[in-house]
Structure 1
């Protein structure tokens, strides 16, 4: 059975910033992540709470997560690109790491497509 390490990142956004955050994530950040080879499983608004958002990514291992994120978040493309449009709108965030089967990751991807 193939297994993947899921990083589930939830954001609490500053009031009134959800639409602009989603636009920056959808139009700029997610395409950049995917162009760098990161597996973005799901992202989008929360179904139950105003001003909350999620980003779920899958990795082969903890080492892969650390290497891919270090390369991405240290890049000029990120720092001079959508970073400010996202970071300036975040009040707080929380990361959780969980192992899941490849099938579970695929199901999560299919059932949680962004708006």
Structure 2
């Protein structure tokens, strides 16, 4: 049996005309922090043929790991004094869906067009 991990699918509705600015801040500032804090960013980006939307997919060992990881990350000076304000001011709303998925399916979701995500 293949082990499963908890996968978070986060969708953002951005303020009109800000998707490029959001993606730039995410790639240049937020993503490196996610990686430094050991968070598994599976994929991210703007869905094709949409405007003002962005998605982020992250994987965790389980619910406890997700809760502890995010609590530490979002309370850190790295985040609070770093890209937090630039990111938050561009978001109109967001939603989150969680699912337990097997590792091969998580790997299939990884976005090869973003080499910065391993």
- So what's the TM-score if we normalise by structure 2? 0.92
CA distance, structure 2, for counterparts of residue 4 and residue 20 of structure 1: 31
> Displaced runs of 4+ in structure 1, greater than 3 A?
none
Does 1:83 find its partner at 2:84?
Answer: yes
SS, match of residue 31 in structure 2: helix
- So what's the TM-score if we normalise by structure 1? 0.94
What's the CA shift string for 1:54-75, capped at 9, x where partnerless? 0000000000000000000000
SS, match of residue 55 in structure 1: strand
CA distance, structure 2, for counterparts of residue 34 and residue 74 of structure 1: 16
Aligned ranges for residues 87-98 of structure 1 at < 5 Å?
87-98=88-99
Pairwise CA distance, 1:2: 1.6
CA distance, structure 1, for counterparts of residue 90 and residue 99 of structure 2: 26
RMSD: 1.3
Unaligned runs of 5+ in 1: none
Unaligned runs of 5+ in 2: none
